[in-house]
């Protein structure tokens, strides 16, 4: 299936690739490569990509499909922050500006959601580092154990808004599966076989809310809150089990601590009817839950709450 676009007002003969249309199965990067290098030409011919941009705004950036890799999709969401590979397309003359109601006034594109398809999506290096609020969700028509992100996700400090992960598997991160210095939510996510911790929230005001999340078989602790961070666990399918595979007694299924210089308590909260006894099972190392009291941890900060 393809869509054909015309630039009627110029009266010029369109190149063959423009005449034949823009194919839905071409990645966005490939479509960018079809544009001329001259910025004035890009401005006149960018309307050939308008429909694709609007489509990605409304139904999400698909990986694969719109972008070959998750890293490229994140860069596309973050283009407005002048970061990454798409930074050259942030000027008002270029294609990431869409006409408002057919007028000569333009607005920037607004991408917020990435939709992961079936397959193993590999992250090079220690983490995929994210600096903007966004949603990364798995295709709801595919089982989450068939949507695998191989590597860790790092939410940088100071992100305004919320970062959200849903319906996917994070597997075999070299360090942590999720390492968060900004607030985040997770729903129906499996985190497994990470080299360090499964999910870690660190810093005053950093709040993680995890619904029906499973963390298993990580080398160190399963779920960690530190330095004033907080993680809330919700849902009957939430489990943290068989972690601390490296056998170190400093690590537990659920762990809290906080450097005293931060002056804030770290908490892991389980929303009733969940209890730590139900959620944290068969973890090695130092056991199913605990606090590093030498670094300001308090075992009473792992508790059931009512909402």
Can you give the pLDDT at residue 198? 98
Same domain for 104 and 121? Answer: no
Q: Is a pLDDT exceeding 70 seen at residue 54? A: yes
How confident is the model over 62-84, as pLDDT tens digits?
A: 999 899 999 999 988 887 665 66
Same domain for 98 and 144? Answer: no
Q: Is a pLDDT exceeding 90 seen at residue 192? A: yes
Same domain for 36 and 172? Answer: no
Same domain for 145 and 235? Answer: yes
Same domain for 133 and 99? Answer: no
- 1 belongs to a structural domain: no
Q: Is a pLDDT exceeding 80 seen at residue 194? A: yes
Find all residues with CB under 8 Å of 290, minimum gap 6, and list them: 252, 254, 255, 297, 299
CA 166 to chain centre: 9
Can you give the pLDDT at residue 3? 31
- 13 belongs to a structural domain: no
Same domain for 104 and 163? Answer: no
Can you give the pLDDT at residue 184? 98
Most confident of 78-87, 167-176, 258-267, 292-301: 167-176
Can you give the pLDDT at residue 234? 98
- 50 belongs to a structural domain: yes
CA 198 to chain centre: 15
Give the integer Cα–Cα distance in Å for 307 and 303. Answer: 13
Same domain for 98 and 173? Answer: no
Can you give the pLDDT at residue 52? 79
Give the integer Cα–Cα distance in Å for 161 and 44. Answer: 35
- 277 belongs to a structural domain: yes
Contact 52, 96 (CB under 8 A): no
Its domain, for residue 227, covers 115-307
Same domain for 134 and 282? Answer: yes
**Structure-token pair, residue 99:** 């006409």
Can you give the pLDDT at residue 35? 60
Cis peptide before 267 (omega within 30 of 0): no
- 136 belongs to a structural domain: yes
**Structure-token pair, residue 102:** 């057919």
Same domain for 156 and 302? Answer: yes
Same domain for 153 and 239? Answer: yes
pLDDT-derived band of residue 28, with 50, 70 and 90 as boundaries? confident
- 7 belongs to a structural domain: no
Same domain for 53 and 168? Answer: no
- 231 belongs to a structural domain: yes
Closest C-alpha to 157, from 177, 132, 186: 132
Please say which residue of 111, 144, 166 terminates a domain. 111
How confident is the model over 121-142, as pLDDT tens digits?
A: 999 889 999 999 999 999 999 9
Give the integer Cα–Cα distance in Å for 283 and 194. Answer: 14
Find all residues with CB under 8 Å of 13, minimum gap 6, and list them: none
pLDDT-derived band of residue 42, with 50, 70 and 90 as boundaries? low
Comparison of pLDDT for 105 and 194, the residue scoring more = 194
Can you give the pLDDT at residue 46? 61
Q: Is a pLDDT exceeding 80 seen at residue 294? A: no
Please say which residue of 111, 126, 150 terminates a domain. 111
**Structure-token pair, residue 239:** 């489990």
Q: At residue 300, what are phi and psi to the nearest 5 degrees?
A: -70, -10
- pLDDT, average across residues 278-284: 98
Count of domains observed in the chain: 2
Give the integer Cα–Cα distance in Å for 113 and 74. Answer: 9
Mean pLDDT of the chain: 83
Count of positions (residues) in the chain: 307
- 10 belongs to a structural domain: no
Same domain for 74 and 126? Answer: no
Please say which residue of 53, 81, 111 terminates a domain. 111
- pLDDT, average across residues 186-193: 98
Give the integer Cα–Cα distance in Å for 272 and 236. Answer: 10
Q: Is a pLDDT exceeding 80 seen at residue 98? A: no
């Amino acid at each position: 299936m393809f869509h054909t676009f015309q630039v009627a007002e110029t009266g010029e003969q369109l190149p063959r690739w423009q005449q034949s249309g823009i194919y839905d199965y071409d990645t966005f990067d490939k479509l960018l490569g079809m544009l001329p290098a001259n910025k004035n030409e890009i401005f006149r011919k960018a309307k050939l990509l308008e429909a694709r941009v609007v489509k990605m705004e409304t139904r999400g950036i698909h990986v694969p499909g719109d972008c070959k890799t998750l890293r490229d999709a994140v860069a596309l969401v973050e283009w407005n922050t002048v970061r990454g590979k798409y930074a050259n397309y942030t000027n008002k003359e270029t294609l990431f500006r869409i006409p408002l109601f057919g007028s000569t006034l333009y607005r920037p594109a607004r991408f917020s959601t990435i939709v992961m398809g079936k397959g193993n999506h590999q992250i090079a290096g220690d983490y995929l580092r994210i600096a903007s609020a966004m949603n990364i969700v798995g295709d709801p028509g595919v089982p989450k154990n068939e949507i695998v992100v191989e590597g860790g996700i790092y939410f940088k400090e100071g992100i305004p808004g919320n970062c959200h992960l849903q319906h996917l598997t994070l597997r075999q991160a070299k360090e942590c599966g999720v390492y968060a210095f900004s607030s985040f939510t997770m729903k129906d996510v499996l985190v497994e076989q990470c080299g360090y911790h499964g999910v870690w929230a660190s810093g005053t005001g950093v709040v993680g809310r995890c619904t029906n999340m499973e963390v298993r078989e990580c080398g160190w602790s399963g779920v960690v809150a530190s330095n004033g961070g907080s993680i809330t666990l919700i849902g009957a399918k939430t489990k943290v089990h068989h972690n601390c595979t490296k056998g170190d007694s400093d690590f537990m299924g659920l762990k809290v601590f906080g450097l005293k210089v931060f002056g804030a308590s770290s908490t892991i909260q389980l929303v009733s009817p969940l209890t730590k006894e139900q959620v944290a099972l068969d973890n090695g190392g130092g056991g199913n839950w605990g606090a590093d009291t030498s670094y300001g941890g308090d075992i009473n900060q792992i508790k059931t709450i009512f909402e």
